[in-house]
Amino acid sequence: MAPPRGRRAAAGWLAAVAVAGSCGAGCTSAVAGSPSPVRVSDADRRLVQRYFDELDAAADRGVQAEQDVLRRTQHPDFTGRLCGLDGMTVTFQPAMSSLRPDPAWLPSGSTEHPRGLVLRIAVTVTVRRDQGDVGQQIGLVHVVLLDGTAYGFSPCPAT
């Protein structure tokens, strides 16, 4: 069966990326103490920015180059969860000011937390096929910093 093509397929694919990358709301309870601002170090920000820069540069080189980067940067605890992009490339424009720790996040379908510092960030995702834009969406994605390296989670098109 051939991969789905066109705007409807791209819209489904974007929805899958948004759902896979977004975090669910959780229950909270009051904890004694005073709030303190969440801080992400400048070094951590640089790692995250380089991660997205590398993904986008690979997308500019084509589907295979981007697949290679996604494979290499897939979180080591989740290497069995790689997906093909059905002939599409994906670019991410991160809103670095939105970068926040998200320690409670679990990858879709997982009961295990990824090792490392889990961060979430708002991004504009653009999906391209044959050098033409087929869709764009704003959503949240997760990046994990582990042993000085930024890792992500390969997006999977909707089936």
**pLDDT score of 158 more than 50:** yes
Dist. CA 88–CA 32, nearest whole Å: 49
Confidence (pLDDT) at 37: 56
Q: How many helices (H) and strands (E) does the chain have?
A: 3, 5
Quick check: 12 pLDDT over 70?
no
- At a CB cut-off of 8 Å and minimum separation 6, what does 131 contact? none
How is residue 70 written in tokens? 């996604």
Q: Are strands 149-151 and 117-129 parallel, antiparallel or unpaired?
A: unpaired
CA–CA separation, 87 and 102 (whole Å): 31
Fold entry, domain 41-151: Nuclear Transport Factor 2; Chain: A, (3.10.450)
The mean pLDDT value of the chain amounts to 83
- List the one residue out of 147, 87, 71 whose CA is nearest residue 115: 147
For 12-16, 30-34, 92-96, 127-131, which range has the lowest pLDDT when averaged over its residues? Answer: 12-16
Please report the pLDDT score of residue 69 as a whole number: 96
What is the residue extent of each domain of the chain?
41-151
Cβ-in-10-Å burial (0-12, 13-18, 19+) of 102 comes to middle
138/32 Cα distance (integer angstroms): 35
* CA-closest candidate to residue 79, choices 107, 46, 53: 107
* Predicted TM-score of the model (pTM): 0.75
The DSSP letter of residue 104 is T
Quick one: pLDDT band at residue 154, thresholds 50, 70, 90?
confident
- What number is the average pLDDT over the span 93-101? 97
Q: What is the pLDDT, as a whole number, of residue 108?
A: 86
pLDDT per residue over 45-87, tens digit each? Answer: 999 999 999 999 999 999 999 999 999 999 999 988 778 788 8
Q: Take residue 54 and report the two structure tokens written for it.
A: 């590398």
Tokens, residue 16: 């899958």
Question: What is the pLDDT at residue 79?
Answer: 83
